[in-house]
Structure 1
Amino acid sequence: MPITVFAVISIALYLAAAATLALPLLHRQAQPRTLSLGLAAVAVLAHFAVLIGAHRGGVDLHFFAALSLVGACIAALCLLVNLSRPVATLGVIVFPLAALLLGVDVFLAPSTQPLAMEWQIKLHVIFALLGFSVLSIAALLAILLALQERALRQRHFDGLVRALPPLTLTEALMFQLIGAGFALLTLTLISGILFVTNLFDQNLAQKTVLSIIAWFVFGALLFGRWRYGWRGRRAVQLTLAGMAVLLLAFFGSKLVLELILKRVS
């Protein structure tokens, strides 16, 4: 079956999953959680099939391919999180985003080939992708947490906010994901120091410095939570600030090098 067919199937199922989660919010009905997550699970499998087929089984870290891979990882993690926590509403944001990134990679982006990597570098990349994906989910929860707090102050609990778990559970899950993402980010930096020989070369220096800054931001947030009980607006702001820095580290330099300077990072 052609790669484009798998891509179309994945995109359609992502959008169907998001729609079955979003439409009941407009009519104050219960979300068909099992159906939606089932559709999304098949979409994720098809998404990974596209990545394997389109990039010949390798890990392609060129700009659009990397975005598509991150989208698939975030969608998969969203499904895993929902096995233990009722936050299917995350899919309203995550699944259309994954569909968009997949569509751009397959139908609009130029064809690219994965670079040859030794197993040590692949391990470093896996840590980085997982850490970025976990912290992305945490950042989305931070946005939803901010919406919940605003709704609580205004006493307005319709739509998306009504479908979320209690505020304390959302916050607890956010910090659990930040802790897991921080651990993965730590492994990313350690494996980079051990295995990436040109870590501070021109093309990687910015990524390294920004990743270290993000590591300090998330580390300070976790310490503040443990020592001073930080929560609420401060926790949301630091989470989003750390994620913004990490986004620049992962994709900022790729955007400049590949799309503007037409060079491979």
Structure 2
Amino acid sequence: MTIVLIAIALYLIAAALLVTGVQRQRASRLWLLPAAGAVVLHAVAHLLGWRESGGTDMHFFAAMSLVGLGMAALTTLVGAGGRMAALGVVVFPLAALTLSGYHRHGHVPTQVLDWRLQLHAWMALLAYATLAIAALLAVMLWLQERALRRREFHQWLRALPPLVELETLLFRTIVVGFVLLTATLLTGVLFVENLFAQHLVHKTVLSVLSWLLFGGLLLGRWRYGWRGATAVRWTLAAMALLVLAFFGSKFVLELVLRRPA
């Protein structure tokens, strides 16, 4: 309980420091210490939960929290080296919220998975975290383009990288996420005994559709130079399918139908 509360407080402190830096138009890395502390304590909370439940629980709230942890860790690592720290204004409160949900709803004992299925699950969570960061970058790109078109030079724009740099980072993140998603699908094919079982078919189909959209976007970028609004639309559409594939199915199965996902 204490670890969770401290982690949540540190996430919020890091976000507050980032907001203060934007308002004062002063670059500062004071946020790094509470952010790094929050990420470490977030991970410790899961380790303690796994010891309590006897395994790596992957129920709905645990998976949400792990994705939040992954997003916070990526934001801390990437933000430490440049102006992408602005992501933390959204990511850190989101990570705190997912950790709170995990703590509030307890640790659900799950069937012990062998290393192959655990590898598949961890690849999936890494892919979701990375592509969720890409979706946030796409939203930031859209907001920045919209503000510049309207000649609305808001103060928060100063916290973002130049448009071209932001777009480059978006596609680099998508490439990494696409590789992880590809590995997730491959490990699913190799290690999941019945990939098209009743409760997996919709997850598989939606994940493949998301993979096709991300792949199509990268191909369009390479072949036709797609950028701007086109990149934003494809990224958000692909991410929406991915969210439905994993969290949508887990929500219905675990929280509505009360069945294991």
Per the normalisation by structure 2, the TM-score is 0.96
Q: Give yes or no for the alignment of 1:141 onto 2:137.
A: yes
Q: For residue 248 of structure 2, what is the aligned residue in structure 1?
A: 252
CA distance in 1, matches of 2:110, 2:123: 18
- 1:74-89 aligned within 5 A: 74-89=71-86
Once the 2 structures are TM-superposed, how far is the Cα of residue 35 of structure 1 from its aligned partner?
1.3
Runs of 4+ in structure 1 off by over 3 angstroms are: none
**Counterpart code for 1:141:** L
SS at match of 2:30: helix
CA distance in 1, matches of 2:55, 2:66: 11
Q: Give yes or no for the alignment of 1:103 onto 2:100.
A: yes
| Aligned-pair Cα RMSD in Å | 1.2
- 1:1-265 aligned within 5 A: 4-25=1-22, 27-32=23-28, 34-56=29-51, 58-107=55-104, 109-265=105-261
Are the counterparts in 2 of residues 78 and 90 from structure 1 also a CA contact under 8 Å?
A: yes
**For residues 94 and 156 of structure 1, do their structure 2 counterparts lie closer, same or farther at Cα, with a shift above 3 Å needed?**
same
SS at match of 2:83: coil
CA distance in 1, matches of 2:144, 2:234: 17
Structure 1 unmatched runs, 5+? none
Matched length = 259
Once the 2 structures are TM-superposed, how far is the Cα of residue 162 of structure 1 from its aligned partner?
1.9
Are the counterparts in 1 of residues 79 and 86 from structure 2 also a CA contact under 8 Å?
A: no
**For residues 153 and 170 of structure 1, do their structure 2 counterparts lie closer, same or farther at Cα, with a shift above 3 Å needed?**
same
Once the 2 structures are TM-superposed, how far is the Cα of residue 190 of structure 1 from its aligned partner?
0.6
Once the 2 structures are TM-superposed, how far is the Cα of residue 143 of structure 1 from its aligned partner?
0.3
**Counterpart code for 2:9:** A
CA distance in 1, matches of 2:89, 2:237: 23
Structure 2 unmatched runs, 5+? none
CA distance in 2, matches of 1:123, 1:144: 32
CA distance in 2, matches of 1:179, 1:83: 21
Q: Deviations over 1:118-137 (max 9, x none)?
A: 11111111211111111111
Are the counterparts in 2 of residues 28 and 159 from structure 1 also a CA contact under 8 Å?
A: no
SS at match of 1:60: coil
Once the 2 structures are TM-superposed, how far is the Cα of residue 110 of structure 1 from its aligned partner?
4.3
What percentage of aligned pairs have identical amino acids?
53
Q: Deviations over 1:78-101 (max 9, x none)?
A: 112224442000000000000011
**Counterpart code for 1:120:** R
